Structure 1
Amino acid sequence: MTERLSTDEYRQRRLAMMTETDFLRAVVTEAHRNGWRLHHQRPCRTKDGWASAIIGDKGFPDMCLVRGGKVMFWELKSEKGRVSEDQQRWIDQLGSVAMVLRPSDWPYIEKALR
């Protein structure tokens, strides 16, 4: 027998299973749909492990978004993803313009990007 879910239940289950990569793609799509410019630095794999072309302290937020003089720094995590100490330091230092977001925060994300 097939389990029947309400729209909200289905959405919550889908969000709970979302990977960080899928979440990132969804946020990028929504940001661009609403006229935001954004920056996300993807790490690359080298023969020595993971690397980035950026010089700076570890833990910088996943995404910087700007529109109309407003700036936001978002660290994106899956529902079970953990924030590292380095990431938390950045969030703390950036203050009110920075936050950690998860798929379950989607209603907030939609509102913030409008």
Structure 2
Amino acid sequence: MKYSEAPFKNPVLSWSESDFQSHVITLAKQLGFKLTYHTHDSRLSVAGFPDLVMVNPLTRRTLFVELKAQNGRVSADQEVWLDGLRIAGQFAEVWRPSDWVSGRILNLLSGREVRRARA
């Protein structure tokens, strides 16, 4: 197959979870999320707790986000945490590199798209 015939694949879709997390944290801080928490060693944490907790004091928004590589799987424990947070009225969801490519993460962090918790 010639290069010109190969389907285009955005390199962002190949980001590791670590690379993805670094980009999300950098963007969140640029957009006013002054408080960001991520566990450095999840083996010492409660199973399933989301990767990131981000707080923007100016907009009074807190986001709980589980980051996955494009083909990464969400565990049962992670689903329990995310569902529990949503039921409690919090923003909690899974983000993948395709959400970055689509601009959805930028929209959510900048407040252009506000997703309400679902019960």
Give the TM-score normalised by the residue count of structure 1: 0.78
Cα distance between partner residues in 1 of 2:15 and 2:84: 28
Q: Deviations over 1:54-102 (max 9, x none)?
A: 5xx3110000011132111000000010001100100100015100000
Cα distance between partner residues in 1 of 2:69 and 2:37: 19
Cα distance between partner residues in 1 of 2:98 and 2:29: 20
Structure having greater relative contact order (Cα 8 Å, sep ≥ 6): 1
- Show structure 2 runs of 5+ residues with no match: 111-119
Partner of 1:20: 17
Q: How high is the sequence identity, in percent, across the aligned residues? A: 35
Answering whether residue 76 of structure 2 is matched by residue 85 of structure 1, we say yes
Partner of 2:38: 40
Give the TM-score normalised by the residue count of structure 2: 0.75
Cα distance between partner residues in 2 of 1:34 and 1:110: 9
Aligned length: 101
Cα distance between partner residues in 2 of 1:101 and 1:63: 11
Q: CA RMSD in A?
A: 2.1
Q: Give the drift of 1:104.
A: 0.4
Structure with the larger strand share: 1
